Amino acid sequence: MNRSSAIRGKSEPKTWELRLYVAGQTPKCLAAFANLKRLCEEHLAGEYRIEVIDLLKQPQLAQGDQILAIPTLVRKLPEPMKKIIGDLSNTERVLIGLDLRPVD
């Protein structure tokens, strides 16, 4: 599994750039990645890009996005930047955090 590879959807005018910080393949990190992917597929199909950064491999990247908690999801785009920490199991809160209102 290549975690740092970008997963690209269809090119749309509005692209969501998401970055998931993890530290190794802990259950929390794996859960976060799975939850994020499911969520994006449901709400942002084809409009998102996820970059996974493993801090155990690239610790120097933690400083830039002020990462403290693991896992942390950073919404780089669209602005403003948003941070969501945790395994993203609470879908409702993730959607609010990402400013993604669920489509009724």
State the residues that interact with another protein by CB under 8 A: 21, 23, 26, 28, 31-32, 55-56, 59-60, 62-63, 66-72, 81-90, 93-94, 96-97
Helix H or strand E encompassing 57: none
Q: Which value, in Å, is the radius of gyration of the alpha carbons in the chain? A: 13
Round to whole Å and give the CA distance between 2 and 63.
Answer: 23
Nearest-approach distance from CB 90 to another protein, in angstroms? 4
Nearest-approach distance from CB 8 to another protein, in angstroms? 25
Nearest-approach distance from CB 103 to another protein, in angstroms? 20
Round to whole Å and give the CA distance between 86 and 104.
Answer: 26
